[in-house]
Structure 1
């Protein structure tokens, strides 16, 4: 290759590598105006892009995103093997190559999905308060416990039997659409079509990392851990679809996932939804008043407790020394993307639920 072409390529790569700096400033600048992001990105550009990618990849029965990550991993290893020595011999060239990749990934991530981290809170768009008292929490939990017990008894006819989902995970994926269709009649912003939900090819790895699923922001496939218990599958699937719809905050994805599952006509989906949010309510009560937590536990059907224990035992089986590191990394990632409480933000779904049901029946 001629010398002038080599120099030109180097200049282009240097420009791309250094563009990470203005990109970060631009993202933070745009992100400081949630109304702008909500109007033009989250309700403008993003839904069209996401729908396009769901049309492209949704019909394929396996995860294209997981294959993409596999190839990316191979390319990273190849780069380190071939260019790794540059770190010592040609340090500037090594970091130029590295930051070319980082810069492009940062740009694509935020264009394809990441700007949703800076949208308006769902509490604002749905007119919900974010504050609630302990008494309001206790009153709502009383209602959710009663409803969970009622649905559990309808399914099992025995308060001591655990619930076993009668559907395969593929059937659950298909049935999930019903809940979003029903929910969208009341809230059009939750319209979901076409579907692109798949079991992750790396379900075992996700389990060791402590995750039930994830959204691939580059292919817009909702990935669900294929090893988790079936009764958890409906709400986990709905949670990942909520991310697909652009609700990046974990508490909001929990909230939308719950609403979609509870609006499903299938009773097993409703059961999954109710005991999903009941767990978060009980966790918040335990934090505020341990004695009250014990009191509420005595009111829950033993069969529901068995389902909780079943899930707890499943995760304990896969506990390992690396899991805290993965959780810590994701916690840092969330904090860097406008979720100040990191992984604790999952629990803030309680505020949305308590205020949503102030004037609504369960």
Structure 2
């Protein structure tokens, strides 16, 4: 008995040491340009393989994987509470953590350390006046496009064909400016409605990318005004853009000139809201006036969004907002409470074609 206990103790020390070594190793890799480049190349390969293997499955295999992993960890945690099984349960937890962390890092985690998009764009001052000018531009565009999309009996924007939006996103991925990226689209439709849509609605999560299966999950309960841009955003993760605000920017490039009016409107509307968010603490009166100048159709969409949020508010939303903010900051990103990096990218990109932004 003493011999078995000693062996288990040594194994625990071994796996704990391996986990610590992984932390140090991947931290070192994150500081080396050639290793980050290697993981970018690896991502392109594994993404295509995973999408070929899993895209045809009608449900989210990645979500099923998370469910099984969660069940395993809960089971091992209960084992951990029992003194008799504590040692072996802790050993198994360490093994699961090591394997999961290693796979996550080689498939996704290292992509957070790619060269930021902002380094490819002109350096300019992101002034309040420039953001106001863009806000007015996208207010006019959103009002115009909104008149061309369909709505329900309550005057709220609705999506008629979600599949056509998904196909349009894949098509638009191929038209991204060379200045910004040379990442290649696999042209495989791997968008999946999440199995956790009810939980997502109460946590404020619109969608997420699964690095283990290369699936883009989305909350099928979202208001239509959110959904197309959410898909464009998650498709940006599928291209290999890990940072949230960079995925927003790539989503913007995918949707803003789209021929699909539903995707175009959702993108313009998201851009407008992001700009107003960046302005409100500096000029609340301007934002209030902009909101008052929404078209009646846009006001209906905004009211529908507010209704959705109100119906799903609570302590769970507060908790996930806090933890998501910590996660973003720990992965070389700003917290979820700010849109400034996306706005920086937007204004700098617009300055390329518009001299008055320089």
Gaps of 5+ in 2: none
Alignment check: 8 A CA contact 2:157 2:224 kept: no
1:37–1:118 CA contact under 8 A, matched in 2 = no
**Residues 154-165 of structure 1 aligned to structure 2 (within 5 Å):** 154-155=148-149, 162-165=156-159
Residues 1:107 and 2:105 aligned together: no
Deviations 1:299-320 (A, max 9, x none): 3322112212211211211112
Q: Is the Cα contact below 8 Å between 1:179 and 1:262 reproduced in 2?
A: no
Q: Does 1:273 align with 2:267?
A: yes
Judged with a 3 Å threshold, the aligned counterparts in structure 2 of structure 1 residues 13 and 356 are, in CA distance, closer, same or farther, namely same
1:231 deviation in Å?
3.0
Partner of 1:210: 204
Task: Mark the CA change 1:10 to 1:199 in structure 2 (over 3 Å): closer, same or farther.
Answer: same
Query: What corresponds to 1:22 in structure 2?
Result: 21
Deviates more, 1:60-69 or 1:170-179: 170-179
After TM superposition, list the pairs within 5 Å mapping 1:130-169 onto structure 2: 131-155=125-149, 162-167=156-161, 169=162
After TM superposition, the score normalised by the length of structure 2 is 0.88
Moved more, 276-285 or 5-14: 5-14
1:285 partnered with 2:279: yes
Confirm or deny that 1:60 pairs with 2:57.
yes
SS in 2 for 1:342: coil
CA–CA distance in 1 between the matches of 2:301 and 2:340? 20
1:80 matches 2:73: no
SS in 2 for 1:205: helix
SS at match of 2:115: coil
Deviation string, structure 1 residues 8-67 (Cα, Å, up to 9, x no partner):
77645542332111211222222234x43553222x221111121111111111100111
CA distance in 1, matches of 2:244, 2:126: 19
Cα distance in structure 2, aligned partners of 1:252 and 1:357:
15
2:113 corresponding residue in structure 1: 118
1:19 partner SS: helix
Query: Distance between the aligned counterparts of 2:158 and 2:81, measured in 1?
Result: 51
Contact 2:159 2:224 in 1 (8 A): yes
Q: Distance in 1 between matches of 2:163 and 2:148?
A: 24
1:241 and 2:238 correspond: no
Deviation at 1:260, TM superposition (A): 0.9
1:335 matched to 2:329? The reply is: yes
Give 1:323's aligned residue.
317
CA gap 1:10/1:57 in 2 versus in 1, 3 angstroms: farther
Distance 1:9 1:131 in 2: 59
1:38–1:120 CA contact under 8 A, matched in 2: no
Contact preservation (8 Å) 1:41, 1:115: yes
Shift of 1:214: 0.7
Q: Determine the C-alpha separation between the residues in 1 that align with 2:93 and 2:124.
A: 42
